[in-house]
Amino acid sequence: MLQTFQRAMQSRATRIAGIRLGPITLAQAYCLYAWESPFVCGGNIELADFGVALWTCSQKCWPFPRFVDAVDAGKPEKLLTKVGRRYDLQQFPKDRDALHEWIDWHCKVPPRFLKPDPNRKGASAPWPMIVAVQIMPMLGEQRTWQMPVPLAMSYKIAKDNAEGDTSWKSEEEEAQGRANGSDT
């Protein structure tokens, strides 16, 4: 996670299909889950999925009502039309893979956020919501949703650690006996 955190904090940007993308925020990650984007939920990625994910990753998704208004106004479709006019479809596989890597890289989270928990009752919330709810009391709603995912995860892990919860450690560390805090 350290390398991910460092790279995101450098505000590195990239261009995919001519669209500038900065670090993915917690709100953008949440919106990708709300779209059930195959970039985060798995599945076959079509051109429309690519366009919606590209638009989502290039927009400020917070505050959510403004983002929803943009969706209602057809902004994702307008981007698809604009990009489609000048887009070379032969670039699609390369751009799709680049966007997938970009989203994957920014949204790397510990496995416990992604594995279903048989003890949990009711619907599971997407991991960006779980993280947001836990760090929001410390940072406030606006700051929480607008921060890059690696920074939000760092706050979450630090909070867990301060409360004595070491489940944030990787399974490899747990297998080595380090999840309980011992280094032997």
Reported as a single tens digit per residue, the pLDDT across 165-182 is: 776 666 665 665 555 444
Q: How many CB atoms lie within 10 A of CB 118?
A: 5
Reported as a single tens digit per residue, the pLDDT across 19-47 is: 889 889 999 999 999 889 999 988 999 98
Torsion of CA 109, 24, 56, 19, to 10 degrees: -130
Q: How far apart are CA 53 and CA 40, in angstroms?
A: 10
The Cα-based distances of 49 to 36, 37, 80, 92 in angstroms read 10, 7, 10, 12
Q: Are 166 and 182 a contacting pair, CB within 8 Å?
A: no
Q: What is the pTM of this model?
A: 0.80
Share of the chain above pLDDT 70, in %: 76
Reported as a single tens digit per residue, the pLDDT across 44-73 is: 999 889 989 999 999 999 999 998 899 899
Residue ranges covered by each domain of the chain:
1-112+126-176
pLDDT at residue 184, as a whole number: 37
Question: Closest Cα partner for 52 from 103, 118, 126, 127?
Answer: 103
HEC string for the chain? CHHHHHHHHCCCCEEECCEEECCCEHHHHHHHHHCCCHHHHCCCCCHHHHHHHHHHHHCCCCCHHHHHHHHHCCHHHHHHHHHHHHCCHHHHHHHHHHHHHHHHHHCCCCHHHCCCCCCCCCCCCCHHHHHHHHHHHHHCHHHHHHCEHHHHHHHHHHHHHHCCCCCCCCHHHHHCCCCCCCCC
pLDDT at residue 125, as a whole number: 80
143 pLDDT tier (thresholds 50, 70, 90): very high
